[in-house]
Amino acid sequence: MLVFDFVDLFAGVGGFHAALSSVGGRAVQASEIDPKPAAVYESNWGLRPDGDVRALAADAGRLVKDHAVLTGGFPCQPFSKSGRQLGVAEDRGTLFHDIIRILQAKTPPVVMLENVRNIAGPRQREAWHGVVDGLRSAGYRVSSTPCVFSPHLLAPDDGGAAQLRERVYIMGVHVGRERALLETAVAPVVANAPQNGWDPWRWRVADHVLLEEPSGADRQRYAVDGVEADIINTWNELLALLGPDVRLPGFPMWEPMWRVRRPALRALPPWKQEFVKANHQFYLDNRGPIDEWRRARRRLPIARFPMSRRKLEWQAQDGERDLWQHLVQMRPSGIRVKRATWTPALVAMNQTPIYGPGRRRLTPLETARLQGFDPSTFSFGGQAESLSYKQMGNAVNVGAAAYVFRRFVEANAADIAAHGPCGRSVVETVLDHVPPAVEGAA
């Protein structure tokens, strides 16, 4: 049976392991410093990850096994919008240099890295150029343009998932330093667009995410009730009072800004001033129903809502004006509502989407399904569910990673195969496992 070997750095619970295994890869080594996901990795894949990647990189020639592909979802916090965005200036960002040390010592034909989209954003321009330049200096031909892709752009048969999760995939083939520094006009291997004729609006959370409905005490763990239900019902009351003829705004509705006199703006940044002005005008245009909504007697008055629950971002377009009919995400920045087609990106923080029609949150195995893991075989073991949600928020999406990898191998087959048996094992295995997608396929 054809097979190629890969090393799985920053392995988490095994997103890259599942992705490359699906096209004939065999993990010969993994590294994960956090013992919690490392334990999940070992129980699912039968391979115990090594610890700190820095220890491996310090003596990579001896400690890192020979391999054809190096993968790594290297830490995203230095680049994430939810972090301080210090990039390579933060200690975790310097772990990228340990990847370079391993590449220089082992020169596998292919490297595949993954990170948040923000790594190529305007505030991280220096960090992005540092990543590209570092890989080219190590002899890897890479694109200057980030390959951004999301699993919701793939059909289920192509490994897609009902989750909008844009990530940057950094793909490199070893061609030597001279060529890598010259051959810079390289396009991303996959466009950030629906693939093979797939229409993302065909996704349905009910059909493509939900598993067997939990019951009894199990269901109660995921049920939305108490204060959260009161908050959702209160916002529903406002939508009913506004009526169908009032167009809901594209900006978040911010209840504390709804007053007759416009709040002071001088100390606010320009973008926030515009946001406050828009909310003030929305209040003036709809003062009657808003004031009636505020005066209503409730078990939990609006004034006692946490500040993050006094802001509603309606992204369900012209869908039914009932939060219980959509996906609801309780975010630190407010309540976000969208249609139950695909979910927002899972994150490591406790923002698990609420499936409104079921009045419950998604279960850990349902979030695993969103990340492309097989819920019939994948297991979190007996760990706390909060850890499982966090691990899924950090995971590499299996289907998206596998698809990008396949396209890259197809596009760079000649240069990969030029590495002899090691490179040919990648090309022959991948092409044998997955035929090229047919344009226009459903």
* Distance from C-alpha of 425 to C-alpha of 39, rounded to nearest angstrom: 30
* Distance from C-alpha of 389 to C-alpha of 215, rounded to nearest angstrom: 20
Q: Which two tokens stand for residue 307?
A: 């500040």
E strands, 63-122, in order: 69-72, 110-116
Which alpha helices (DSSP H) does 214-269 contain, by range? Answer: 216-222, 226-242
| Nearest C-alpha neighbor of 338 from the set 219, 205, 170 | 205
C-beta separation of 110 from 69 below 8 A: yes
Contacts (Cβ under 8 Å, ≥6 apart) of 54: 95, 98
Burial class (CB in 10 A: 0-12, 13-18, 19+), 166: middle
* Distance from C-alpha of 52 to C-alpha of 59, rounded to nearest angstrom: 12
Among the options 13, 56, 60, 76, which is catalytic? 76
422 noted as active-site residue: no
Taking domain 4-197+395-433, whether its CATH number is 3.40.50.150 is answered by: yes
Q: How many CA atoms lie within 13 A of 417 on its CB side?
A: 12
SS3 365: helix
- What does the domain layout of the chain look like in residue ranges? 4-197+395-433, 212-362
* Distance from C-alpha of 184 to C-alpha of 279, rounded to nearest angstrom: 47
SS3 360: strand
Partners of residue 328 on adjacent β-strands: 337, 354
| Nearest C-alpha neighbor of 339 from the set 351, 364, 356 | 356
SS3 163: strand
C-beta separation of 113 from 170 below 8 A: yes
pLDDT in tens, 370-395: 999 999 999 999 999 999 999 999 99
Terminal Cα-to-Cα distance of the chain (whole angstroms)? 30
For the chain, 442 residues long, give each residue's pLDDT as a single digit of tens.
Answer: 789 999 999 999 999 999 999 999 999 999 999 999 999 999 999 999 998 999 999 999 999 999 999 999 887 544 444 444 443 444 444 788 999 999 999 999 999 999 988 888 777 788 898 899 999 999 999 999 999 999 999 999 999 999 999 999 999 999 999 999 999 999 999 999 999 999 999 999 999 999 999 999 889 999 999 999 999 999 999 999 999 999 999 999 999 999 888 888 888 898 889 999 999 999 999 999 999 999 999 999 999 999 999 999 999 988 899 999 999 999 999 999 999 999 999 998 778 999 999 999 999 999 999 999 999 999 999 999 999 999 999 999 999 999 999 999 999 999 999 999 999 999 999 999 855 444 333 3
Burial 251-263 (b: 16+ CB within 10 A, else e): ebbbbebbeeeee
* Distance from C-alpha of 15 to C-alpha of 234, rounded to nearest angstrom: 39
Q: Which two tokens stand for residue 50?
A: 């090594």
* Distance from C-alpha of 252 to C-alpha of 311, rounded to nearest angstrom: 6
